[in-house]
Amino acid sequence: MNNEEKKEGGKLYIVGVGPGNPRIRTLEAIESIKKSNVIVAYTTYAELIKDLTEGKEVITAKMKEEIFRTKVSVEKALEGNVVSLVSSGDPQVYGMAGLTLEYICRKGINLDVEIVPGVTAANAAAARLGSPLSLDYVVLSLSDLLIPREEILHKAKMATLGDFVIVLYNPINKPLLLETMKIIRENRKEDTPVGIVKKAYRENEKDIITNLKDWEKYVNEIDMITTIIVGNSRTFVCNGKMITPRGYSNKYEF
């Protein structure tokens, strides 16, 4: 008997729906949700995909109820349902994929699970700013709910010293954000470009390009659905766009 024949229950899709705008969903994400008869999502995400969920059982949960969402998704799939557990962005990037796979593993469950990737907040924000992620970059979450702040600050320092472009997710903890940006500023020039994108591809989107010297002027614009991108030593701004060159001009004549 092969591994597929041993699977329990129905099917579980863990779906990334991107930044929220229907235009930025992948075809695979749309198809997975359409195939599902049960949808499990954070309340805000459920609203963002309402056009795809008519006639389906929709189970919603509040923020910080990730374990509930995981458990109910697995339980519904084990009952024989086709379930979509929905994340914004990509489900592997601070989303539901890691938690759910870990839960299934620790419980000894052999369920048919498929991860459906989506456009990340980093990629969506970067596209709005220009092309700041054309070279090596680091993505860092500033949520200290699960990771100690000392570890976050250490990673920020190492990323800064490594001259990576730095993408900051979940910058809702203002003291931690200020401390992180102080570490970056201490090790980079004050004119280093900083991009701030709020509600990427959603209604009332706001895109700001500033620098390490002046970024704090916009601190009141920053919330949980804001992504911040700090350039590296090569990043510059031209025609209103952040650009991190890959290095072609070092080797070829334009």
Closest CA to 73 of 31, 115, 44: 115
Q: Residue 28 domain-assigned?
A: yes
pLDDT on residue 1? 36
Burial of 103 (0-12, 13-18, 19+ CB in 10 A): middle
Q: Work out whether the CA dihedral 88, 141, 175, 147 comes out positive or negative.
A: positive
pLDDT confidence band for 254 (50 / 70 / 90): confident
d(C-alpha 194, C-alpha 248), whole Å: 23
Kindly report the average pLDDT of the chain as a whole number: 95
Q: 195-230, pLDDT tens digit by residue?
A: 999 999 999 999 999 999 999 999 999 999 999 999
The residue out of 82, 103, 119 marking a domain boundary is: 119
Could you tell me if 146 and 38 lie in one domain?
no
User: 78 and 127 share a domain?
Assistant: no
- Asked whether residue 109 carries a pLDDT value surpassing 70, the answer given is yes
Are 109 and 137 within one domain?
no
User: Which residues fall within 8 angstroms of residue 21, CB to CB, at 6 or more apart?
Assistant: 201, 202
Quote the domain boundaries for residue 146: 122-243
* CA–CA gap between residue 251 and residue 254 (Å, rounded): 10
Is 254 inside a domain boundary? no
In whole angstroms, what is the distance from residue 78 CA to residue 10 CA? 6
What pLDDT, in 10s, does the model give residues 29-56?
999 999 999 999 999 999 999 999 999 9
Total number of domains constituting the chain: 2
* Size of the chain in residues: 254
Percent of the chain with pLDDT over 90: 92
Q: Are residues 30 and 57 in the same domain?
A: yes
Secondary structure element (H or E) that encloses residue 19, with its range: none
Verify that 146 and 237 share a domain, yes or no.
yes
Query: Would strands 236-238 and 226-230 be described as parallel, antiparallel, or unpaired?
Result: unpaired
The domain boundary, picked from 89, 119, 149, lies at 119
Under DSSP, the state recorded for 228 is: E
Distance between CA atoms of residues 33 and 16, nearest Å: 10
pTM here is 0.92
Does 148 share its domain with 236? yes
91 and 164 both lie in a single domain: no
Residue 90 has pLDDT above 70, yes or no: yes
Per DSSP, the chain holds a count of helices (H) and strands (E) of 8, 13
189 in the same domain as 79: no
From the list 204, 56, 232, the residue with the least C-alpha distance to 133 is 232
Instruction: Pick left, alpha or beta for residue 247 (phi over 0 → left; psi -120 to 50 → alpha; otherwise beta).
Output: left
Domain stops at, among 96, 119, 142: 119
Dump strand ranges (E) for 62-164: 82-87, 111-116, 130-131, 137-141
Q: In angstroms, rounded to a whole number, what is the distance separating the alpha carbons of residues 181 and 197?
A: 16
Task: Say whether both 68 and 106 belong to one domain.
Answer: yes
Predicted confidence band at 63 (pLDDT cuts at 50, 70, 90)?
Answer: confident
Q: Which residue's entry shows tokens 């699960």?
A: 146
Q: Are residues 96 and 64 in the same domain?
A: yes
The answer to whether the CB of 16 falls within 8 A of the CB of 116 is yes
| DSSP label of 89 | B
Rounded to 5°, the CA angle 221-88-55 comes to: 125
Both 130 and 210 in one domain: the answer is yes
Nearest to 197 by CA among 213, 212, 208: 208
